[in-house]
Structure 1
Amino acid sequence: MKTRVALGLAGLVMMAWGALLALEVPTIVEFGAWFLAGPILHDLILAPIVGLVGLVIRGPVKVGAVVSGILVLIAVPVIWQPHVPVNPGLHDRDYWLGLAISLGVVWLLVLVGIVWRRMAASPRRN
């Protein structure tokens, strides 16, 4: 019971902190982008597409699609708007290139997975 109360209090503190940070958003456009456009884009467009694609594809391609979607969602905030470097070395990189390399590695691994499965499924010839 004490653990639940502690976790509940921690959650309430985090909610209050998030609300304070949300009030500091400088423009209504940014507020709308984070709190309206993001959830609408996800719930009305992205989630149904991913759900339908998930019914069609199987195996390594499905895993690659999920990982690719996650990488793109993580990259959107840093690609969407330019950042003023807060800490030298933290934001001064080419995020498009990093995303492209990450997606390339994911799909290379998907290809390896497909080849691996086909080799394992094919009968051995001696």
Structure 2
Amino acid sequence: MRAVRLLLFVVGAAATAYGGWLLLPQLATTLPWLIGGPVLHDVLVAPLVGLAGLTLGRLVTDRLRRAWIAAGLLASVTLLLIAVPLLWRPPSAPPNPGLPDRDYPLGLAVGLAVVWAVIVIVLVVATTVKRGVTDRRTDRP
């Protein structure tokens, strides 16, 4: 087992060294991205997510609702992160037939609308079912 682990370590270290060697010529242009991503996350994204979580925890007391709203927020942020490169600026390369002819802002809006429509429908159904169960329990003699 040690020989397999050692072999995997050596192969992984060699692949990492080769990747670093390939990255070396582009280091000046890549370094801001390698450093900027974690810094941006720690300075901006993590505090905003924490603040949103605290706010959600205080405003929504029902655990089921809070879980579904958190899932909707996670799906929304994922859609936004995927859409940012497409919305940020037009592509600089020649157009690839079939790819850039889409209306990305409309697609993002439709995607977000579908996510939140599903969340609202699930919460309405869950609330209705919960009220029905509660009403049946209180109707018993």
Match of 1:92, SS state, is coil
Cα displacement string for residues 92-113 of structure 1 (whole angstroms, at most 9, x for unaligned residues): 3221111111111111111122
Unaligned runs of 5+ in 1: none
**Local SS of the residue matching 2:8:** helix
Counterpart of 1:3 in structure 2 is: 8
2:80 match: 72
Q: Is there any run of 5+ residues in structure 2 with no aligned partner, and where?
A: 57-65, 137-141
Q: TM-score, with normalisation over the residues of structure 1? A: 0.71
Report which of the two structures shows the higher radius of gyration computed on alpha carbons.
2
How many pairs align? 120
Q: Aligned-pair RMSD on alpha carbons?
A: 3.0
Q: TM-score, normalised by structure 2?
A: 0.65
Task: State percent identity of aligned pairs.
Answer: 37
CA spacing shift, 1:49–1:103, aligned 2, 3 Å: same
> Could you report, residue by residue, the CA deviation over 1:45-98 in whole angstroms, capped at 9, with x for unpaired residues?
222111121233222111111111111112111211111344211233221111
Aligned counterparts, 1:46-125, within 5 A: 46-57=45-56, 58-83=66-91, 84-124=93-133
